[in-house]
Structure 1
Amino acid sequence: MKNIYIKTLCVLTLGLTFASCNDYLDDAPKGSKIPTTLADYEAFIRDEYTNQSVDIAQASTLINDKFIDIATLAAQRLTKANYMWDETADRIQLNQADERTYYGQYAGISTFNLIIANALTTTEATEEQKRVIWAEAKILRAMSYYNLANFYADTYVASTASTKLSVPLITSADINAPSKQVTIQEMYDFILTDVKDALPYLPKVSQTPLHPNLGAGYAFYSRVYLQMNNYTEALKYADLALAENNKLYDWVAYYNNNKAVIDIPNSYTNTPSPMGYDYVENYTFRHGERTYLSTEYSIPVERAQRFETGDVRFKSRWKIRTVGAETYYRRTLSGMFNYGGITTVEVYLIKAECLARAGQISEALDLLNAVRKTRILPASYQDIATADKTTALNAIFKTKYNELILTLIPFTDARRLNAEGVYKFSLSKTADGTNYNLSSESHLWTMTFPQGATKNPGNGTITQNVAK
């Protein structure tokens, strides 16, 4: 990547904020340069470990999608409060250091603001090329705001979205830019507008897996509308996304090709992750929580039990292990993992949900079973067949929950369904002889802003969206 020099790289309340063009030094240090060409700005999109990572650690912790060992629970009180569903804990006071989600997403937003503000006036590019980079930055900014809004604020409910607060909105890369903590409705309106602005200029084929293409734009639009319970629009854009890319990865073939290693008893030799940059299901690639590591998280026994019998996607990724007093399913893949981007399987299941809600049960199950056939061993596979809407939807939810494990989507879906009140999501477990429960009504479903943000709100104000 080009060595791009900017005057100010300082951590502010709203993230790692870049100076505006007027703040650049007149003389860049030797070996550096002031960004002027479109290529200079486009290079920021390729900064995958800062601008293209989505750290949602506490969300995965809350729904127990990852295994947390005894030592970590003893050392990290916020993590323990979420993992053990402690509703008495004051998570506002405990959240003194867990700032990665907040500052990480705003760091990317600052970068995308910089690109949006300058791409159209850069040099050494055609107008069409400028518009493409501008549009890609708009999609990435909208995706980052979606992550923040669905982490630190309540889920979207039309009747309350205009009165409840979301997260701070900032659209300028200037270090002195004001911020305003907008309502949930204002935030969703902003996200939808960004996508609408970008769609006409997105290319059908990406420059790299990090650059969102037209399929990514449609897929993200579908995700946002689903979160708003607008199933008509979610279905419309799911169809458009699948017209751009409808490929599904054959996990049965992956397992068969690697079973000699996968099936060795008590062996945890890593096999290569197929979910990297060239995963056929990718619309756009973004890293998850483990940006720099080449392995994914191990998962609890209770979580492993929610996978279908014969699910080789599960079998290829985790294997049971006992170390001392702890038993869990240890991860066995190594490589890259698209935990923060968008994939075709999510869109298949969005479309399936929308069809089922519209009473088109058979069509919905055709999509669900198309996904399952690429995941379940033939000896274990049976089509899910039902005429009952609730049964069909629960099957779709279960598959989606398993498919998108360790991403933000199981968390956002659970919040959406809990707010709807018809297909509520709750969890229970037993640890050391004690029963624990995460109610669908729990306040734990909304994360607290870190104290670093609320104590130093910069050029704006921040109000917590949850009492503790």
Structure 2
Amino acid sequence: MKHIVNMISALMLCVCFYSCNKILEEKSDNKLVVPTTLMDLQSILDNASRNVFSDPGEGEVSSDDYYLSEKDYMSLTSEPYRRMYVWEADYIFEDRSNSWTYSYASVYSANTVLEHIQDIQRNSINGNSYDDIKGQAHYLRAKAMLQLAALFLPAFDEQSAQSDLGLPIRQHTDFNIPTTRSSVMETYQAILNDLEQAATLLPITPKHMIRSSKPAAFGLLARTYLWMRRYDQAEIAASTCLQYFHTLLDYNTISNTPEYPFNQFNAESIIFSVIGMPTNILQPDMARIPDDLYNLYKDGDLRKELYFKKNNDGSVRFRGSYSGNMTLFGGISTNEIILIKSESLARQNKYLEALATLRELIVKRWRVGYVDDTFTEGKIQNADQALAVILTERRKELLMRGLRWMDIKRLNKEGHNISLRRFIDGKEYILKPNDKRYALAIPEDIISLTGIQQNPR
């Protein structure tokens, strides 16, 4: 079985998007071994280095959850990441070693499983495992495509989604089929289709937290609908997820003593994964938390103690990852789903229900005996006020999770007018609302090898 995993890994860098000649050179490797059992297919899905520890981080690199000191910026050895940090229009990815390549490798793994599982007969003995594996493959493909959409597509807009450039949709392992870009609408519909299949097939409780489950599928469905700004459907998906999984950590029970306070597979995590790219720029010894973000946390808010630690120079670093170490959590957890439900309710003018949902989270985040005066009775009197509070709590709760980039994009579509600024060597760099650079440039080697259209710059 290790040979199967090694074979798939060897194909990772050529997945779907290299020229026909390169693909034909690699295709002979595909004949070396063919997965023939459910165990073989599960092993492909359990390739942790591919599917668990390599979530894209380029959106986080581009966001305002952190900043680099000028010294640390100048010390970066990767010119593409230096360009990405200040939102240059192009050449922001290393050739071959980037999240486009790695994410489509996961798509290829999912397609391999979905193709070969058709050759295995489902019966009364293997039925549960069969459905579970098929559901995991649909989930993996949807997850990879949604992460790519967050990086490389503009914010979803119902008015233009049919014409805006989307992703190449690969639902097969045949390298000979030409690569073309779909529309944004088609991309999101493919994601929704996969998640609906996954939600039907997956078990409620997975054998391990790195594997997908029914609540994970509904959780990712809720995230997808939120990013599409279809808030009624986001609420339904989030509510369904919480019916299956509703565990919240009480931060009053979390020790502040460890360097990283949260356990790796903690009880609030629905599915576990880690942001793997890039490997240095987001590490806590470089990524500093902006003062305006840190100052949102009031005395009595336990997140101020558990999420952050002061550096020797007085700046603040993040240490609150649910990965349990310096890497950043990229999975889905109950707190995110509660916040999706709360925001979605507020956007439907159900603000009292939205605030009641939010309180479930807040009571677990404040020190016993302290009161967040934001929730003083009568202080919030309408949906707009409730939404402002909810979005602030989302900002405080979910930083450094790879979610902020897409939040900025969708909130600017809602009229929030968020501009981003960096200061390097006396020069100010600005990314204005709805700038075309919010859809990151597709790696130039991919454009060269496939001939697909680059994102408008």
Q: What range is the shorter-chain TM-score in?
A: 0.7 to 0.9
User: Is residue 185 of structure 2 the alignment partner of residue 185 of structure 1?
Assistant: yes
**Contact kept? 1:356, 1:393, Cα under 8 Å:** yes
Distance 1:376 1:233 in 2: 30
User: Is residue 357 of structure 2 the alignment partner of residue 374 of structure 1?
Assistant: no
Alignment of 1:170-181 (within 5 A): 170-181=170-181
CA-CA distance at 1:379 after TM superposition: 5.0
Alignment of 1:214-233 (within 5 A): 214-233=214-233
Match of 1:104 in 2: 102
Q: Secondary structure at the match of 2:91?
A: helix
Distance 1:302 1:360 in 2: 33
Once the two structures are superposed, what CA deviation does each residue of 1:105-133 show, in whole Å capped at 9, x if it has no partner? 11111111111111242379613321220
The verdict on how the C-alpha distance between 1:446 and 1:369 changes in structure 2, with shifts beyond 3 A counting, is same
**Contact kept? 1:215, 1:244, Cα under 8 Å:** yes
Match of 2:113 in 1: 115
**Contact kept? 1:273, 1:336, Cα under 8 Å:** no
User: Is residue 421 of structure 2 the alignment partner of residue 414 of structure 1?
Assistant: no
Distance 2:399 2:408 in 1: 12
Match of 1:466 in 2: 456
Q: Secondary structure at the match of 1:329?
A: strand
Distance 2:433 2:96 in 1: 24
User: Is residue 317 of structure 2 the alignment partner of residue 329 of structure 1?
Assistant: yes
Distance 1:232 1:134 in 2: 28
- Worse-superposed segment, 46-55 or 189-198: 46-55
**Contact kept? 1:53, 1:104, Cα under 8 Å:** no
Once the two structures are superposed, what CA deviation does each residue of 1:143-181 show, in whole Å capped at 9, x if it has no partner? 110110121111110110111111221111234343221
Distance 1:405 1:217 in 2: 22
Name the aligned partner's letter for residue 120 of structure 2: T
**Contact kept? 2:110, 2:141, Cα under 8 Å:** yes
Long gaps (5+) in structure 2: none
Distance 2:5 2:358 in 1: 48
Alignment of 1:439-458 (within 5 A): 439-457=432-450
Match of 2:155 in 1: 155
**TM-score (normalizing by structure 2):** 0.85
Q: Secondary structure at the match of 2:303?
A: helix
Distance 2:320 2:149 in 1: 32
**Contact kept? 2:179, 2:452, Cα under 8 Å:** no
Distance 2:159 2:320 in 1: 45
Distance 1:45 1:336 in 2: 25
**TM-score (normalizing by structure 1):** 0.83
CA-CA distance at 1:58 after TM superposition: 2.7
**Contact kept? 1:6, 1:24, Cα under 8 Å:** no
Match of 1:302 in 2: 291
Once the two structures are superposed, what CA deviation does each residue of 1:380-411 show, in whole Å capped at 9, x if it has no partner? 43252401322211211121122221223221
Match of 2:40 in 1: 40
Distance 2:86 2:5 in 1: 45
Distance 1:21 1:431 in 2: 49
Match of 1:273 in 2: 262
Distance 2:320 2:358 in 1: 26
Distance 2:394 2:27 in 1: 41
Match of 2:14 in 1: 12
Match of 2:274 in 1: 287
Match of 2:344 in 1: 354
**Contact kept? 1:20, 1:173, Cα under 8 Å:** no
Name the aligned partner's letter for residue 50 of structure 2: T
Distance 1:56 1:201 in 2: 26
Distance 1:356 1:7 in 2: 49
**Contact kept? 1:53, 1:287, Cα under 8 Å:** yes
CA-CA distance at 1:205 after TM superposition: 0.9
- Worse-superposed segment, 95-104 or 175-184: 95-104
Name the aligned partner's letter for residue 135 of structure 2: A
**Contact kept? 2:310, 2:316, Cα under 8 Å:** yes
1:79 paired residue among 57, 78, 81: 81
The verdict on how the C-alpha distance between 1:80 and 1:103 changes in structure 2, with shifts beyond 3 A counting, is same
**Contact kept? 2:274, 2:329, Cα under 8 Å:** yes
Q: Secondary structure at the match of 1:465?
A: coil
CA-CA distance at 1:282 after TM superposition: 1.8
CA-CA distance at 1:360 after TM superposition: 1.4
Distance 2:224 2:116 in 1: 27
Q: Secondary structure at the match of 1:92?
A: coil
Match of 2:90 in 1: 92
Query: May I ask how many residue pairs the two structures share in their alignment?
Result: 436
**Contact kept? 1:108, 1:141, Cα under 8 Å:** yes
Match of 1:316 in 2: 306
Distance 2:426 2:278 in 1: 36
Distance 1:396 1:66 in 2: 21
Long gaps (5+) in structure 1: 29-33, 262-268
Once the two structures are superposed, what CA deviation does each residue of 1:21-55 show, in whole Å capped at 9, x if it has no partner? 99422xx6xxxxx5221011101222112122344
CA-CA distance at 1:462 after TM superposition: 1.8
Once the two structures are superposed, what CA deviation does each residue of 1:165-205 show, in whole Å capped at 9, x if it has no partner? 11221111234343221110111111111122222211111
**Contact kept? 1:426, 1:440, Cα under 8 Å:** yes
- Worse-superposed segment, 238-247 or 95-104: 95-104
**Contact kept? 1:302, 1:429, Cα under 8 Å:** no
**Contact kept? 1:449, 1:464, Cα under 8 Å:** yes
The RMSD of aligned alpha carbons is 3.2
Structure ranking higher in helix proportion: 2
The verdict on how the C-alpha distance between 1:73 and 1:337 changes in structure 2, with shifts beyond 3 A counting, is closer
Match of 1:404 in 2: 398
